[in-house]
Amino acid sequence: MLAAGFLAALLGTTPMAYDHPAFFGVDNVVTTQEFQALAFVASLGAQRIASEPRLTDVAATWFGIPGDSAFLLRLQRDESITGVDYAVVLERWSVIGTQVRSIPDVLIDASTLAAFLEANRILRADGSPGDRVYVVQVLPGAA
């Protein structure tokens, strides 16, 4: 009886053990456009970038650029963005949101995202409409 219960528990948790990120809905894949955007930022000599935690982790690991992973929360609250040279911004943040550690997915209002892009300098945009990846130079004093 105990063995049957153990076997049932083992079989019931196999999907979680086999593919942990997918089971919990975690997206930890970096697309080609996202990686190329980070490489472009590195080529510009960035000192610090802003983006979602997944991309700031990649920027730090691959390019040695520290990142501001709290950027999304400040952007969502329409706070000023300071202390960064560049931002890698994903258009889908306003459609499906993004993951930020320890809290529910963060959705950025489309008008807030548009205002941020308008207030700063877009250096590069890749991808199809609705899924664009922007490299933005964060201007001093801009939102």
Using alpha carbons, select from 45, 108, 44, 49 the residue that is nearest to residue 74: 108
| pLDDT value at 102 more than 70 | no
Residue 21, pLDDT score = 47
Q: What is the pLDDT of residues 63-72, one digit of tens each?
A: 999 998 788 8
Q: Which residues contact 54 (CB under 8 A, 6 or more apart)?
A: 27, 28, 30, 98, 99
Residue 133, pLDDT score = 95
Parse the chain into domains and list their residue ranges.
Answer: 1-28, 31-137
| pLDDT value at 137 more than 60 | yes
Residue 116, pLDDT score = 93
Residue 75, pLDDT score = 87
